[in-house]
Amino acid sequence: MGETDRRRRVLAVASSGGHWVQLLRLVPAFTDCDLVFVTVVKSYRSQVPGNRFYLVNDARRGSKLWLIQLAAQAIRIAWIVAKENPDVVVSTGTAPGYFAVAFGHLLGAKTIWVDSMANIEHLSAAGSRVGWCADLWLTQWPGLARGGGPHYGGSVI
């Protein structure tokens, strides 16, 4: 198979819990793609069999080592994005997704950010900062949509 014949590579990135669940709900949109997953929970590998899977460290705000963990996470994600060279990066958040969308954008990938359904009154911290590098910047709440983005197109849950 030549380079022009390869399936579109999609890097799908989310942290744990609801972010991961929402990302998995987007998977049917990428059925004809080469899906690669990145998350912070090792056991999630079993939910995406047959796909490449990367584990990154979690970086929880409030931890004494938060900034160091965040820097380590950013470096690992930069390596993954460079190695996988995705055509598309999609994320439902949080920090791992922000870094993946940002690095993907810088390397020429199309980027999609879907802010978490949990953010009813305001965008997430990462979601409020991702607009500069998201080709498609979405919120799941119509009241949070703005003319320049994020845009509302429905919800995944």
For residue 114, being part of any structural domain is answered with yes
Overall domain count for the chain: 1
The Cα–Cα gap between 15 and 81 comes to 16
> 3-class SS at 143?
helix
121: left (phi over 0), alpha (psi -120 to 50) or beta: alpha
Q: Please report whether residue 109 resides in a domain.
A: yes
By the 8 A CB rule, do 105 and 127 touch?
Answer: no
With contact defined as beta carbons under 8 Å apart, do 112 and 91 qualify?
yes
Q: Give a yes or no: residue 91 inside a domain.
A: yes
| Contact present, 89 and 109 (Cβ < 8 Å) | yes
Q: Is residue 133 part of a domain?
A: yes
Instruction: Provide the β-strand partners of residue 151.
Output: 138
Q: Does residue 157 form part of some domain?
A: no
- Ranges of residues in the chain with a pLDDT under 70 are 1-5, 157
| pTM for the structure as a whole | 0.93
Which of 147, 153, 155, 108 has the alpha carbon at shortest distance from 131?
147
SS3 100: helix
Say which CATH number the domain at 143 has: 3.40.50.2000
In a domain, 155, yes or no: no
Instruction: Examine residue 135 and state whether it is found in any structural domain, yes or no.
Output: yes
Q: Which of 22, 41, 19 is nearest to 98 (CA)?
A: 19
Q: What is the pLDDT of residue 3?
A: 55
Nearest partner of 100 among 124, 123, 67, 76, judged by Cα: 76
Domain containing residue 111:
3-148
Beta bridge partners of 89: 11, 111
Q: Residue 126: inside a domain, yes or no? A: yes
